[in-house]
Amino acid sequence: MFRKCASRLAIWLCLASGLALATSASAQQAALQSVLEDLPQSCPQLPVRSAISEHLNAFYQARQFQPAWTSRSLLEGLLQQLAQLADDGLDPAYYQPERIREQLYPVASSPRRPECDDLLASQAYLQALHHLARGRLRQADIEPIWRSPDAPEADDRQRLLQIAVQGLADLPAAFDRAR
């Protein structure tokens, strides 16, 4: 009798913990999706232009709105890669590594939204990959060259999105592929 009750209790506890994990994951997805839909109001400290907002939305949509920066090692890897951007002629400070570092060592008195922290790291990641692939400045703005209006404009957003999504497993490789 005791074994029968103990085994049922163990099964019930396993199912309950699995349900709790599934509920928290879907709650994270919903929270991240709602923040992305109303980004300027949800994360006012995040400087976002419409083009970057589109990239963030596509990135998280490809990830089923799962948070991307869930471990300290991922954030530390991102900070290392951002620091190495100086070797490519980019200013690492542009990608706000200090604010990303605050996620690793949060101050107890500062109110934080985990979704906004995740979006900040993703914004820096996506911008860095884009700047490595295409440059920080648009060449057409600096050196206008006539191009035929019939010529298709190079659009590598899908390639960069694929690099970004797959690159979370290996950040140095993602940065190398973007170069």
Query: What is the torsional sign of CA 140, 144, 150, 154?
Result: negative
User: Residue 50: its pLDDT value, please?
Assistant: 72
The predicted pLDDT at position 19 comes to 36
Report whether pLDDT(159) > 70. yes
Confidence of residue 66 (pLDDT cuts 50, 70, 90): very high
Give yes or no for a contact between 111 and 45, defined as CB atoms under 8 angstroms apart.
no
* Rounded (to 5) percent helix, strand, coil in the chain: 70, 0, 30
Q: Which two tokens stand for residue 105?
A: 């060592």
CA distance 11 to 136: 55
pLDDT at 17: 43
Alpha-carbon span 6 to 47, nearest angstrom = 54
Q: CA nearest 59: which of 175, 132, 162?
A: 162
Q: What is the pLDDT of residues 87-131, one digit of tens each?
A: 999 999 999 999 999 888 876 666 678 899 999 999 999 999 999
Let me know if 147 is exposed, middle or buried by CB neighbors in 10 A (0-12, 13-18, 19+).
exposed
Report pLDDT digits (tens) over 5-49: 555 545 544 444 443 333 455 776 888 888 888 888 888 888 777
Structure token pair of residue 82: 């951002």
